[in-house]
């Protein structure tokens, strides 16, 4: 699934995958930047808590974004596929200037909203300039190929990761979250070996990659983003490995980016922090519905 087409003379909105476990009580740097991008006091933020089965998740994020100065915040109580046909929900997404998907279970999120009017609206709003953020499960679903599961604390091996279709806001990366905390390098390497075109993003807790319309992202938060570039592989044993067998991957490039570092997904190049670069803090104009 490719990203939705950008309207003429338009600019795609930021895509903001967050590794989960973000600061929701103190400085809230990630959420604060998202609110600013969404319009601040003029923001109209829609929260989608579908991945979570906790009743408090939607109201909790409403509180966070309201405390940070967002003009309007609402959440969509989508718990089954039939809810995605609600015309009121579609209208709310059409007018949103920021969209946030919470954590929980990414398969719950994808099986409930995947292929529905709600998913189409989110894709079109992002193509029209609206920033879309997601934490944990909400981060995983952003890419065309979604990490659905698999063990941590393991070497890259055949069968140690399961994939499913994601929302397709980007087809350049595959995203894993809670990355260092749950030792998920092995499964991200496995995912990258399936198709070396994809760039693997392993995002730590309380950390986000603010991916701009130019496909350059900046790291914000207290952890790191691990970037796996398998495009220059000289050898992979994945095709001949048996179930559970460790695989060989030669020629991988791995970059570990802390706060302020940037990465160009097109050029596959990492850059150190630039104190004069503030492109992620600039509000993004929200275009009309598509």
Task: Give yes or no: 158 in active site.
Answer: no
pTM listed for this prediction: 0.92
Instruction: Give me the percent of the chain exceeding a pLDDT of 70.
Output: 94
| Structural domain contains residue 172 | yes
Quote the pLDDT of residue 1: 63
The helix, strand and coil proportions of the chain, stated in percent and rounded to the nearest 5, come to: 25, 25, 50
| Structural domain contains residue 277 | no
| Structural domain contains residue 198 | yes
Q: Over the stretch 176-192, which tens digit does the pLDDT of each residue have? A: 999 999 999 999 999 99
Return d(Cα 226, Cα 203) in angstroms, integer. 6
Q: Over the stretch 119-167, which tens digit does the pLDDT of each residue have? A: 999 999 999 999 999 999 999 999 999 999 998 998 999 988 999 999 9
- How many independent structural domains does the chain possess? 1
Mean pLDDT value across residues 8-29: 92
9: Cβ contacts below 8 Å, ≥ 6 apart: none
Above 50 in pLDDT, residue 285? no
Write the CATH number for 19: 3.40.50.880
Above 70 in pLDDT, residue 275? no
From the candidates 22, 144, 205, 218, give the one annotated as an active-site residue. 205
More confident residue, 112 or 275: 112
| Structural domain contains residue 206 | yes
Average pLDDT, the chain: 92
Q: Over the stretch 109-132, which tens digit does the pLDDT of each residue have? A: 999 999 999 999 999 999 999 999
Quote the pLDDT of residue 3: 83
Asked if 13 and 126 touch (Cβ cutoff 8 Å), the reply is yes
Above 50 in pLDDT, residue 267? yes
Residue with tokens 């198709």: 195
Which H/E stretch holds residue 230? none
Asked if 84 and 20 touch (Cβ cutoff 8 Å), the reply is no
Quote the pLDDT of residue 281: 42
| Structural domain contains residue 125 | yes
Above 60 in pLDDT, residue 279? no
Task: Give yes or no: 31 in active site.
Answer: no
Q: What is the DSSP letter of 25?
A: S
Quote the pLDDT of residue 143: 95
> How sure is the predictor about 289, in pLDDT bands with cuts at 50, 70 and 90?
very low
From the candidates 178, 192, 193, 236, give the one annotated as an active-site residue. 178
| Structural domain contains residue 156 | yes
Return d(Cα 45, Cα 110) in angstroms, integer. 21
**Closest by Cα among 178, 118, 117, 106 to 143:** 106
Quote the pLDDT of residue 208: 98
Task: Give yes or no: 240 in active site.
Answer: no
Q: In the numeric block, which tokens belong to residue 208?
A: 């986000």
Return d(Cα 13, Cα 200) in angstroms, integer. 21
> How sure is the predictor about 286, in pLDDT bands with cuts at 50, 70 and 90?
very low
| Structural domain contains residue 281 | no
Q: Over the stretch 226-252, which tens digit does the pLDDT of each residue have? A: 999 999 999 999 999 999 999 999 999
Do the strands 207-211 and 235-236 form a parallel or antiparallel pair, or are they unpaired? Answer: unpaired
Task: Identify the domain containing residue 35 by its residue range.
Answer: 15-268
Above 60 in pLDDT, residue 203? yes
Return d(Cα 30, Cα 34) in angstroms, integer. 6
Q: Under the phi-then-psi rule, with left for phi > 0, alpha for psi from -120 to 50, and beta for the rest, what region is 58?
A: alpha
> How sure is the predictor about 290, in pLDDT bands with cuts at 50, 70 and 90?
very low
From the candidates 136, 140, 192, 236, give the one annotated as an active-site residue. 136
| Structural domain contains residue 273 | no
């Amino acid at each position: 699934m490719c990203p939705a087409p950008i309207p003429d003379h338009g600019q795609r909105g930021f895509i903001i995958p967050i590794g989960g476990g973000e600061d929701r009580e103190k400085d809230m740097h990630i959420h604060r930047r998202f609110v600013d991008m969404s319009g601040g006091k003029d923001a109209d933020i829609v929260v989608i808590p579908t991945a979570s089965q906790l009743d408090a998740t939607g109201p909790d994020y409403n509180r966070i974004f309201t405390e940070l100065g967002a003009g309007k915040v609402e959440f969509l109580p989508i718990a089954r596929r039939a809810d995605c046909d609600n015309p009121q929900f579609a209208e709310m997404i059409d007018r949103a200037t920021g969209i946030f998907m919470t954590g929980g279970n990414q398969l719950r999120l994808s099986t409930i909203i995947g292929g529905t009017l709600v998913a189409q609206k989110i894709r079109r709003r992002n193509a029209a300039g609206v920033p879309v953020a997601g934490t944990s499960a909400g981060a995983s679903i952003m890419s065309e190929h979604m990490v659905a599961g698999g063990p941590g604390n393991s070497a890259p091996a055949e069968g140690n990761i399961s994939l499913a279709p994601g929302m397709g806001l980007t087809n350049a990366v595959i995203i894993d979250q809670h990355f260092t905390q749950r030792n998920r390098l092995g499964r991200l390497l496995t995912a990258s070996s399936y198709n070396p075109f994809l760039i693997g993003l392993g995002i730590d807790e309380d950390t986000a990659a603010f991916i701009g319309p130019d496909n350059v992202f900046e790291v914000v938060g207290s952890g790191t983003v691990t970037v796996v570039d398998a495009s220059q592989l000289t050898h992979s044993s994945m095709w001949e490995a048996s179930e559970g067998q460790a695989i060989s991957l030669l020629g991988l490039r791995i970059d570990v980016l802390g706060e302020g570092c940037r990465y160009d997904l097109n050029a596959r190049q990492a850059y150190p922090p630039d104190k004069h670069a503030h492109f992620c803090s600039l509000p993004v104009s929200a275009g009309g519905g598509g």
